[in-house]
């Protein structure tokens, strides 16, 4: 099978995305390897969310090719496409949860979209996922407005995991959390990745996250991936943006 072995779980080739006259992604190449947590960083507004949304098919690309699980997404028919979508989960940067739905209904939402299951099974799934992200079953009947910021992120993660995906996209999952909450969330992602064998594509601004959670880092600049590798490789880079990012004041606070 094409998706086995060392083949990347996501393969992005020559992808360009343009809004009006502005080219946000410019012949971008990126591989995400099976089983890794890839940290995706770059300046604000560089196009990290745009690439995430392009891979999952919410933003149209001008050109290029995207393969997920070894399948060219442009070549996939409707049914195959739905089959692929069932195998990934997404935590969006904005609008983490539906405010008019309970936690239980939020977690069940993607399941209902793809599977026909009994209410009893749906309820079991919601509770199992809540426990998986470290929350109590009682939280299921609350509304998002009744949750702390950290709990909202955990419920959003539970929703991303609802269909037992192999691949999870997390777009700035710890933004807005205090350092302790962010650290706990990173630990949770790490633990889930190990126990469930997940592959994680994580957009983050957080240097702590890159250190503690990520196996590899890719850096977006000028519409391309300008560097990809281990934290040590990023720190050794002479590229001006990487130098200021990984050796600047904020970096020193983390690296010591």
Ligand X SMILES: Nc1ncnc2c1ncn2[C@@H]1O[C@H](COP(=O)(O)OP(=O)(O)O)[C@@H](O)[C@H]1O
Residues that bind ligand X (CB under 6 A): 19, 24, 42, 44-50
Residue 49 or 209 having the CB closest to Mg ion: 49
Residues 6 or more apart whose CB falls under 8 angstroms from that of 208 comprise 179, 182, 183, 186, 254
Contacts 24+ apart (CB under 8 A), 55-61: 55/10, 55/12, 55/169, 55/201, 56/85, 56/88, 56/90, 56/169, 57/81, 59/17, 60/17, 61/15, 61/16, 61/17, 61/25
Instruction: Find the shortest distance in angstroms from Cβ 112 to ligand X.
Output: 27
| CA 227 to centroid of chain Cα atoms | 19
Q: Does 49 bind Mg ion (CB under 5 A)?
A: yes
Under rule CB under 5 A, which residues in 188-207 are in contact with Mg ion?
Answer: none
Which residue number, 135 or 214, has a Cβ lying nearer to Mg ion?
214
For strand 167-171 and strand 10-19, is the pairing parallel, antiparallel, or unpaired?
A: unpaired
Is the separation of the CB atoms in 37 and 200 below 8 Å? Answer: yes
Nearer to ligand X, 46 or 251 (CB): 46
User: Under the criterion CB under 5 A, does residue 52 sit at the interface with Mg ion?
Assistant: no
Least distance CB 50 / Mg ion (angstroms): 8
> Which range, of 41-49, 152-160, 212-220, 241-249, touches Mg ion by CB under 5 A?
41-49
133 or 202, CB closer to ligand X? 202
Residues in contact with Mg ion, total (CB under 5 A)?
3
CB 201, min distance to ligand X, A: 13
Return the one option of Mg ion, ligand X, none that residue 34 interacts with (CB less than 5 to 8 A, by type): none
């Amino acid at each position: 099978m094409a998706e086995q072995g060392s083949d990347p779980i996501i393969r992005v080739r020559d992808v360009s995305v343009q809004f009006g006259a502005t080219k946000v992604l410019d012949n971008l190449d990126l591989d995400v390897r099976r089983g890794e947590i890839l940290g995706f960083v770059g300046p604000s507004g560089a196009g990290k969310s745009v690439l995430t949304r392009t891979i999952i098919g919410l933003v149209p690309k001008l050109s290029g090719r995207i393969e997920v699980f070894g399948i060219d997404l442009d070549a996939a028919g409707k049914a195959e496409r739905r089959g692929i979508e069932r195998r990934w989960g997404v935590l969006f940067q904005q609008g983490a949860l539906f405010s008019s739905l309970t936690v239980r209904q939020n977690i069940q939402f993607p399941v209902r979209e793809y599977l026909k299951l009994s209410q009893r099974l749906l309820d079991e799934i919601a509770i199992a996922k809540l426990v998986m992200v470290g929350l109590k079953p009682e939280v299921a009947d609350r509304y998002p407005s009744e949750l702390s910021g950290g709990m909202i992120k955990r419920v959003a993660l539970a929703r991303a995991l609802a269909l037992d995906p192999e691949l999870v996209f997390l777009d700035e999952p710890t933004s807005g959390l205090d350092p302790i909450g962010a650290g706990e969330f990173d630990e949770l992602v790490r633990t889930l990745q190990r126990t469930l064998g997940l592959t994680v594509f994580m957009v983050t601004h957080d240097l702590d996250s890159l250190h503690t959670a990520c196996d590899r880092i890719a850096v977006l600049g000028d519409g391309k991936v300008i560097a990809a590798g281990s934290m040590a490789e990023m720190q050794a880079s002479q590229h001006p943006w990487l130098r200021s990012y990984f050796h600047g004041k904020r970096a020193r606070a983390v690296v010591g």
